[in-house]
Amino acid sequence: MKRHHRSLSLALALVLPPAAWAAPVKPPLLGSWLYGTLSSIQYYDRTTNNWMDASGASEIVTFTADGHYERTRLLSLTTYSCTSKLFIYEKGTVKIAGNQLTYQPQEGVNKGYTCTPSNSWSTARVNPETWTFRFERNSNGQDVLVMRGKESELHYGRYQR
């Protein structure tokens, strides 16, 4: 009987869709959050007398009540005459255990270039990530989502579309 139970568990694990992995998302995490700023406007560099691409980083992440998420990240970095860009889009399920949140992408794209669009790359591979999170209040009394990863701590404000 024990052997049959183990086989049934294994069969169910192989058949259940990844959505079964999703954990319900509750307030205040529920909804959309914005980290960073990234100007879409170029600036004039008086040192080189050229128009340059702006630098910065931005992320928008939306958590839904059924345990799904959608996440868009953009990084643009200009050093002298070299502009590099990174764009990552993903969506999938999220697992929440205490103050830990794990993104489990089900689809996505990871693409960018270094110094020139002709030096570009693209992949559909987006890796799972685990972060710890907490909430703070800003000086206006609004929620701030603080996410800590292995090498960074990011502060997100509410994003209104």
The CATH number given to whatever domain includes residue 151 is 2.40.128
Residue environment code for 32-46, b if the CB has 16+ CB neighbours within 10 A, otherwise e:
ebebeeeeeeeeeee
Is 2 a domain residue? no
Provide the pLDDT for residue 8: 35
Residue 147 lies in a domain: yes
Range of the domain at 92: 21-158
* Residue 3 in domain: no
Confidence of residue 43 (pLDDT cuts 50, 70, 90): confident
Q: Is residue 10 part of a domain?
A: no
Would residue 7 count as lying in a domain? no
Q: How confident is the model at residue 15 (pLDDT cuts 50, 70, 90)?
A: very low
What pLDDT score does 113 carry? 95
The pLDDT of 72-94, averaged and rounded, is 91
Q: How far apart are CA 118 and CA 127, in angstroms?
A: 25
Number of domains in the chain: 1
Tell me, yes or no, whether 11 lies in a domain.
no
Whether the pLDDT of residue 44 is over 80: the answer is no
Average pLDDT over the chain reads 85
Identify whether 5 is part of a domain: no
Residue 64 lies in a domain: yes
Dump pLDDT digits (tens) for 103-160. 999 999 999 999 999 999 999 999 999 999 999 999 999 999 999 999 999 999 999 8
- Residue 61: partners with Cβ closer than 8 Å, 6 or more residues away: 32, 33, 35, 69, 70, 71, 72, 156
pLDDT attached to residue 156: 97
